[in-house]
Amino acid sequence: MLEFVEGTLPANLAAAVKQHIDGCPRCMQELERQSSRTRALQKLGRVAAPDQWDEIHRSIQRTGWMYFVKRYGIPAAIFGLTAALIFLAVMFALSL
């Protein structure tokens, strides 16, 4: 079925599948489902081109921090960062 949707099925088989689907509502429905999913994947494929993987990877790594900023706002994020820096400075001073 997926081969039929992607057009990689041999012509004679594709014709047989198409003939069956024309007379079979269940397969017609399944075909619609597969087609829309394949189209969605193809759309995604264009957006997520290989040369954008670095950017996607970085944004995934940023997600944790960005989630915090979105959830609590930028002032809270700055406060959190400052608190973390003060904590690190204190730890550093104590270790001297």
Choose which of 1, 13, 24, 89 interacts with Zn ion (CB under 5 A). 24
- Minimum CB separation of residue 73 from Zn ion in Å reads 55
Position among 27, 31, 69, 77 found at the interface with Zn ion (CB under 5 A): 27
Contacts 24+ apart (CB under 8 A), 48-52: none
User: Quick check: 9 and 3 in contact, CB under 8 A?
Assistant: yes
CA-to-CA separations, 9 to 1, 18, 35, in angstroms, rounded? 9, 11, 14
Which region, judged by CB under 5 A, interacts with Zn ion, from 4-12, 25-33, 39-47, 58-66?
Answer: 25-33
- Residue ranges binding Zn ion (CB under 5 A): 24, 27
